């Protein structure tokens, strides 16, 4: 059974930093692209970042480029999202999601339960 378990969310002041983790199990983690998606309170879904299976390529939405870094440790089946220079509009539930890919383009077939991040003073 595929399981994705996010952790590391919490309350952080504007300008602060936070690192989210996503522990994966039930599939060969190193063979799949992984993704972060967020959802602000009462809002829709927003893709944040993707990382290829090898970790060699990463992609970001414009609003987090240069502030967030996605990485993975395939030996530990873990995905990370390092967030810095956090702003109030980064407040959201952050989901990690496994990619199901065709030719490098990926839908998201399994999602974690999400971890909330609140940026506030």
Partner 1 sequence: AIRMTQSPSSFSASTGDRVTITCRASQTISSYLAWYQQKPGKAPKLLIYAASTLQSGVPSRFSGSGSGTDFTLTISCLQSEDFATYFCQQYYSYPYTFGQGSKLEIK
Q: Does residue 23 belong to the site contacting partner 1 (CB under 8 A)?
A: no
Largest distance between two CA atoms of the chain: 44
Phi-psi region of 10 (alpha: psi -120 to 50; beta: other; left: phi over 0): left
Among 70, 8, 76, 3, which Cα is nearest to 37's? 70
The nearest distance, CB 72 to partner 1, in angstroms, is: 18
Q: Does residue 59 belong to the site contacting partner 1 (CB under 8 A)?
A: yes
Q: Which is nearer to partner 1, 65 or 76 (CB)?
A: 65
Q: Does residue 46 belong to the site contacting partner 1 (CB under 8 A)?
A: yes
Enumerate binding residues for partner 1 (CB under 8 A): 37, 44-47, 50, 59-62, 95, 100, 102, 105-114
């Amino acid at each position: 059974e595929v399981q994705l378990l996010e952790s590391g969310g919490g309350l952080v002041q504007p300008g602060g930093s936070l690192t989210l983790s996503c522990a994966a199990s039930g599939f060969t983690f190193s063979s799949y692209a992984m993704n972060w998606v967020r959802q602000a309170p009462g809002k829709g879904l927003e893709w944040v970042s993707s990382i290829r299976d090898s970790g060699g390529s990463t992609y970001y939405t414009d609003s987090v480029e240069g502030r967030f870094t996605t990485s993975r440790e395939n030996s530990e089946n873990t995905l990370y999202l390092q967030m810095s220079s956090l702003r109030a509009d980064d407040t959201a539930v952050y989901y990690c999601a496994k990619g199901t890919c065709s030719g490098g383009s990926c839908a998201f077939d399994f999602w974690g339960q999400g971890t909330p991040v609140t940026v506030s003073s």
